[in-house]
Amino acid sequence: EPEVTQTPSHQVTQMGQEVILRCVPISNHLYFYWYRQILGQKVEFLVSFYNNEISEKSEIFDDQFSVERPDGSNFTLKIRSTKLEDSAMYFCARGGGVSGGSETQYFGPGTRLLVL
């Protein structure tokens, strides 16, 4: 099955700036996820999104983070005021089923975010 696409592939920003990362999945999938991977560390779960609502979020996903699906297609992750420690690869993933029930997650190529 095809994966999701993500834009941009790379983003460099100044500390304190807002960034928006985009994920373009197949429109009839209902489950979407954001993960991040700090260089040299484990992939970490941020948030899951089902039927246009957040269904789970981790401790990392604090008030600086938000997700939405503004046009029913693109799925975005916004970081309101970036910190140096937000520098990481951010991966979008979609669930395997059209009707829900993830079991298998398919990952996008990632966005490399560098906060200076």
Partner 1 sequence: TQLLEQSPQFLSIQEGENLTVYCNSSSVFSSLQWYRQEPGEGPVLLVTVVTGGEVKKLKRLTFQFGDARKDSSLHITAAQPGDTGLYLCAGEGNAGNMLTFGGGTRLMVKP
**Amino acid (1-letter code) at residue 111:** T
Residues that bind partner 1 (CB under 8 A): 3, 31, 33, 35, 42-45, 48, 55-56, 58, 89, 91, 95-96, 102-110, 112
CB of 81 to partner 1, least distance (A): 25
Kindly tell me which of 45 and 64 has the beta carbon lying closer to partner 1.
Answer: 45
Question: Shortest Cβ distance from residue 52 to partner 1 (Å)?
Answer: 16
Q: Which residues are bridge partners to 33 per DSSP?
A: 48, 93
Looking at beta carbons only, is 33 or 65 nearer to partner 1? 33
Q: Which is nearer to partner 1, 25 or 110 (CB)?
A: 110
Task: State which residue, 9 or 81, has the beta carbon closest to partner 1.
Answer: 9
Name the minimum Å distance from CB 66 to partner 1: 18
Edge-to-edge strands, sheet with 75-79: 5-7, 19-24, 75-79, 65-68
3-state secondary structure 49-64: EECCEEEEECCCCCCC
Whether 107 and 2 have beta carbons less than 8 Å apart is answered as: no
Could you tell me the smallest distance in angstroms from the CB atom of residue 45 to partner 1?
4
Q: How far is 38 from 73, CA to CA, in rounded Å?
A: 27
